[in-house]
Amino acid sequence: MELCFYKLHGLGNDMIVIDDREGRIPPYDMPRVARKLCNRRLGIGGDCLLVAKNSDLADIAMLVYNSDGTQAQMCGNGIRCFSRVVYEAGWIPYDGFTVETLSGVKKPQLLLMDGEVRSVRVDMGVPSFLTGDIPMDADEEEFIMRPITAAGREFMATAVNTGIPQLVVFVDDVRSLDIEKYGLPLEHNELFPEKTNVSFVEVEDRRTVILRTWERGCGATLCCGTGATAAAAACMKSGLTDRVVNVRVPLGSLRIEWDGENNIYMSGPAEKVFEGKVII
């Protein structure tokens, strides 16, 4: 089967977008397709695959598959890139559309210039710190600034759900941290029955934090939108930052805004790399 595809990235977190609104790919075959297309030697290469589907709840639906074939509820960088393709490819001919995800319906706001999408602001919903919502096997109602151990080292961490499970780990020098060493055991920590993303965070000042990410099903990535949202929310929850935070990653930054009670917003770029056709 031949498919058209789009390759994009959000600050280095790269992904492939395909249109399956006609249902040509059987659901059972999606994990194989994701592994094939995301393979960096034998496929297109990407951290995840985003699949456009029809929706009864919104204008369009987005399914997210990690590079290992597992399915995720949401992808923050992904929905920005997905929204750019949806608009510029003409799948939906207006910019006020809604997107159904497994973590709820999202309404991206597109910043347009000469008909092209320059950046996207996304309503990420209300972050939940309740361990039952994350989900997390813990006696506490919330896991905020609590100790957790990985590879023989103890960290202070906060757990939160920003569409998918997130563990925000606070460190003094995130640039020198070996996230390969600590990311995997934290992802698979027994407290998280569905595994978790891990965001290693250094607070630079009241308006800036530095982030390095480890994503479940992907490993180390250059950026994670839901992780940046989680990192900012965790910092705000503990009073470490103001209510508007720039989350710095290796290739730029995301802007996160939250009043502490209602929905949290993420803004950032969605860059096109190339498009083409592929055989699956």
The reported pLDDT for the residue numbered 3 is 94
Q: For residue 41, how many other CB atoms are within 10 A of its CB?
A: 5
The reported pLDDT for the residue numbered 115 is 84
pLDDT in tens, 229-238: 999 999 999 9
* CA neighbor of 195 nearest in space, from 178, 217, 222, 175: 217
Asked if residue 158 has pLDDT above 90, the reply is: yes
- Contact criterion met (CB below 8 Å) for 195 and 183: no
Q: Which of 38, 223, 224, 235 is catalytic?
A: 224
Residue 126 has which token pair?
Answer: 């209300």
User: How far is 232 from 89, CA to CA, in rounded Å?
Assistant: 32
Mean pLDDT, range 126-141, rounded to an integer: 97
pLDDT in tens, 63-105: 999 999 999 999 999 999 999 999 999 999 999 999 999 999 9
Asked if residue 200 has pLDDT above 90, the reply is: yes
- Contact criterion met (CB below 8 Å) for 100 and 67: no
Residue 103 has which token pair?
Answer: 């973590």
**Average pLDDT of the chain?**
97
The reported pLDDT for the residue numbered 41 is 96
Domains and CATH numbers, the chain: 2-121+269-279 (3.10.310.10), 146-262 (3.10.310.10)
Residue 215 has which token pair?
Answer: 């994503």
Does the annotation count 223 as an active-site position? no
Q: Which of 38, 75, 218, 235 is catalytic?
A: 75
Predicted TM-score (pTM) above 0.75:
yes
Mean pLDDT, range 227-255, rounded to an integer: 98
Side chain identity, residue 216: R
Look up tokens 């750019």; give the residue: 84
- What separation in angstroms does the CA of 266 have from each of 29, 52, 182, 244, 270? 32, 21, 26, 10, 12
The reported pLDDT for the residue numbered 250 is 96
The reported pLDDT for the residue numbered 62 is 98
Does the annotation count 75 as an active-site position? yes
Asked if residue 5 has pLDDT above 90, the reply is: yes
Residue 135's pLDDT band (cuts 50, 70, 90): very high
Asked if residue 42 has pLDDT above 90, the reply is: yes
